[in-house]
């Protein structure tokens, strides 16, 4: 008997081969690098036992309904699962695979890049050079100065793998202290992924409140997952508490930060700058979007995990999770629903 699986994007060869090596699979695939058409998906998912999808594909009740009762597994090519209705999966006993470990280093690297870009005004400086403005701004002592990372207090909203891997990278820069907020304010982090908490080489402690984290941090890093309780966690009140020389970095999900409030905070110089890999309503950011008018904001198109190695790992891991779900075996990483 064959099982139908639906794959919502072109896959890297290694992952494609893993799926194609299983002769019992009928692979129905959206063969494109563009997001999968929703109506195509709803139509083609009918009768599928497994779905391999991207973070841009909403996995909700409607999709599961369209698939039918035989659906066993959803494998998401992502660490975040906010696009997936977990309750709907749980209700139907459908397993959910994801890729939470293989992208940690790549995203932590990018968050360091964004901190430095925001503090050292990388985007603004490149923009001026690209516009031919260098000759009108020769070297001078205060040209493009910004805050320095040495001595910084770094505040983490969310303190999972990526946040802890970022902290690990920041310690050699000479930061002085780390504060973090887990979903339960004032609670110690659940896991100590790198031994940073058992033997901290910089003082590392839970913040008592978001107010404390906002007002004491020189760098705030958003690394939490998106949920109703984290939506707009960074809002006008948060910015009002931040230091004028602080920078905000978001490598998690756009809606954790209220974009309008961020634009206003940058305009009013309530904070020094921002480095974003994600934003509300991505990828629909037209050229006249107000965030693009902010010279102190670096905005990247959600490329946190975009290293060649990591994308190969994410692809093969998603394929393995899909196969494990179909075969009733252990996944590489499965979400506890």
Residues at the interface with ligand GLV (CB under 6 A): 55, 78-80, 103, 304-305
Q: Nearest approach, Cβ of 236 to ligand GLV (angstroms)?
A: 25
In DSSP terms, which residues pair with 214 in a beta bridge?
Answer: none
Question: Is 269:83 a contact under the CB 8 Å cutoff?
Answer: no
**Cα gap 234→156, rounded to integer Å:** 12
User: How big is the CA angle at 204 (ends 300 and 223), to the nearest 5 degrees?
Assistant: 25
Exposure of 214 in the CB half-sphere (CA atoms within 13 A):
16
User: Which residue has tokens 């409607």?
Assistant: 62
Query: Whose CA is closest to 113, among 314, 300, 308?
Result: 300
Q: Nearest approach, Cβ of 198 to ligand GLV (angstroms)?
A: 28
Please provide residue 213's backbone torsions phi and psi, each rounded to the nearest 5 degrees. -60, -45
Nearer to ligand GLV by Cβ, of 140 and 198: the residue is 140
Nearer to ligand GLV by Cβ, of 294 and 305: the residue is 305
Nearer to ligand GLV by Cβ, of 3 and 305: the residue is 305
User: Which residue has tokens 């508490």?
Assistant: 241
Nearer to ligand GLV by Cβ, of 21 and 126: the residue is 126
Q: Nearest approach, Cβ of 321 to ligand GLV (angstroms)?
A: 13
Question: Is 232:257 a contact under the CB 8 Å cutoff?
Answer: yes
Nearer to ligand GLV by Cβ, of 179 and 221: the residue is 221
**Cα gap 313→318, rounded to integer Å:** 8
Q: Nearest approach, Cβ of 133 to ligand GLV (angstroms)?
A: 16
Q: Is 83 a catalytic residue?
A: no
**Cα gap 329→256, rounded to integer Å:** 35
Q: Nearest approach, Cβ of 78 to ligand GLV (angstroms)?
A: 3
**Catalytic residue chosen out of the listed positions 83, 193, 232, 302:** 302
* Active site (catalytic) residues: 302
């Amino acid at each position: 008997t064959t099982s139908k699986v639906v794959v919502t994007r072109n896959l890297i060869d290694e992952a494609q081969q893993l799926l194609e090596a299983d002769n019992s699979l009928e692979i129905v695939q959206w063969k494109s690098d563009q997001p999968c058409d929703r109506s195509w998906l709803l139509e083609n998912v009918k009768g599928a036992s497994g779905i391999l999808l991207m973070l841009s594909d909403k996995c909700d009740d409607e999709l599961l309904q369209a698939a039918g009762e035989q659906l066993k597994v959803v494998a998401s090519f992502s660490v975040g699962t906010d696009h997936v209705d977990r309750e709907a999966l749980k209700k139907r006993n459908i397993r959910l695979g994801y890729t939470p470990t293989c992208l940690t280093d790549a995203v932590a690297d990018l968050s360091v890049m964004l901190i430095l870009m925001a503090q050292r005004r990388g985007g603004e400086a490149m923009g001026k050079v690209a516009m031919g403005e260098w000759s009108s701004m020769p070297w001078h002592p205060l040209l493009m100065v910004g805050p320095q990372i040495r001595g910084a207090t770094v505040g983490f909203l969310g303190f999972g793998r990526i946040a802890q891997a970022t902290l690990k990278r920041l310690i050699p820069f000479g930061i002085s202290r780390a504060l973090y907020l887990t979903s339960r304010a004032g609670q110690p982090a659940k896991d100590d992924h790198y031994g940073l908490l058992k033997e901290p080489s910089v003082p590392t402690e839970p913040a008592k409140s978001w107010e404390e984290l906002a007002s004491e941090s020189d760098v705030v890093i958003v690394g939490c997952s998106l949920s109703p309780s984290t939506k707009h966690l960074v809002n006008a009140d948060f910015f009002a508490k931040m230091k004028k020389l602080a920078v905000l970095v978001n490598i998690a999900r756009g809606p954790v930060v209220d974009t309008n409030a961020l634009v206003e905070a940058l305009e009013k110089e309530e904070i020094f700058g921002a480095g974003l890999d994600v934003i509300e309503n991505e990828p629909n950011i037209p050229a006249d979007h107000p965030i693009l008018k902010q010279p102190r904001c670096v905005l990247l198109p959600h490329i946190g995990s975009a290293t060649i190695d990591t994308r190969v790992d994410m692809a093969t891991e998603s394929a393995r999770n899909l196969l494990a779900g179909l075969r009733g075996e252990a996944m590489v990483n499965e979400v506890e629903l």
